[in-house]
Structure 1
């Protein structure tokens, strides 16, 4: 099914050095929100365009192995994002070892969100 999180490249690089990722969403931490926002692949473009469209920082998509998250005892709960659509929320910090891919992401010249998936 896929568990994706949109991140600033700088935040991800800092998390790799620190050993844990604690950013929930743009400008908000896990400690402030209580969980890390995530999306299913089909949901991410809409979220990115709503929250990150004017963000000048380099973006990446963290592809998480949901089985590893669960095996670590960190709950992933599908919850209403405010419109009735369910989004996965990760109730704990992300261990970098759970991330199977880091995909470059950007907005094209028309303002549409793009993920650079290899292959």
Structure 2
């Protein structure tokens, strides 16, 4: 996959509210000031299993081409010492290249198939 690909995790029920809109903002955007993202398949699963460990509903991952985002992206260090891409503004829909299901296998999230 392209080096420009970053991932945003989103509960399916919340994502459905954004269908047909030209951009996306997560629930915690007002508090955080940016959209959390991650880069790389392995780190995606680490983050999903840390942040959504107890989550039991359907979880999706937005596959984003960071070169097509209209809002600035900054790589910033998190508490775990790793750098994560943060999107400072709305995520434009045309930067979302794919949407995939996250699969839950015995209390562990893995990236599943495309739903788009």
Q: TM-score normalised to the size of structure 2?
A: 0.86
- What count of residue pairs does the alignment treat as equivalent? 110
Between structures 1 and 2, the one with greater strand share: 2
Between structures 1 and 2, the one with greater helix share: 1
Report whether the alignment pairs 1:113 with 2:109. yes
Cα distance in 2 for partners of 1:56, 1:112 equals 11
| Structure 1, unaligned runs of 5 or more | none
| Structure 2, unaligned runs of 5 or more | none
2:24 equivalent in structure 1: 21
CA RMSD of aligned residues (A): 1.5
Indicate if the aligned counterparts of 1:75 and 1:92 stay in contact, CA closer than 8 A: yes
Cα distance in 1 for partners of 2:54, 2:96 equals 26
Indicate if the aligned counterparts of 1:60 and 1:105 stay in contact, CA closer than 8 A: yes
Q: TM-score normalised to the size of structure 1?
A: 0.84
1:32 equivalent in structure 2: 31
Runs of 4+ more than 3 Å apart: none
Report whether the alignment pairs 1:84 with 2:87. no
**Which string of whole-angstrom CA distances, capped at 9 and with x for unpartnered residues, describes residues 53-99 of structure 1?**
11122111100111111xx2x11111111121101101111122211
